[in-house]
């Protein structure tokens, strides 16, 4: 599993992560951006997004 410095390094260097991040609702992207230092892989990005969207259901 590839790890990056933070969310911004991840989406800059991983096209799949960038597409996934762009597909998320605005409120999810904003919440994730506030925790950018904690997100260093596509797996952590997906996990965090799923946790945020699960609360909506």
CA–CA separation, 3 and 16 (whole Å): 14
Q: What is the pLDDT along the chain (57 residues), one digit of tens a residue?
A: 789 999 999 999 999 999 999 999 999 999 999 999 999 999 999 999 999 988 655
Buried b / exposed e over 16-49, threshold 16 CB at 10 Å, is ebeebbeebeeebbeebeeeeeebbbbebbeebb
Concatenating the DSSP letter of every residue in the chain gives ----SSHHHHHHH-HHHHHHHHHS-HHHHHHHHHTGGG--SHHHHHHHHHHHHHTT-
For residue 2, the model assigns a pLDDT of: 87
Please indicate, yes or no, whether the overall pTM of this predicted structure exceeds 0.95. no
């Amino acid at each position: 599993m590839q790890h990056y410095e933070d969310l911004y390094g991840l989406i800059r260097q991983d096209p799949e992560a960038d597409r996934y991040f762009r597909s998320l609702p605005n409120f999810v992207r904003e919440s994730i951006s506030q925790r950018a230092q904690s997100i260093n892989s596509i797996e952590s990005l997906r996990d965090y997004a799923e946790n945020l969207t699960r609360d909506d259901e």
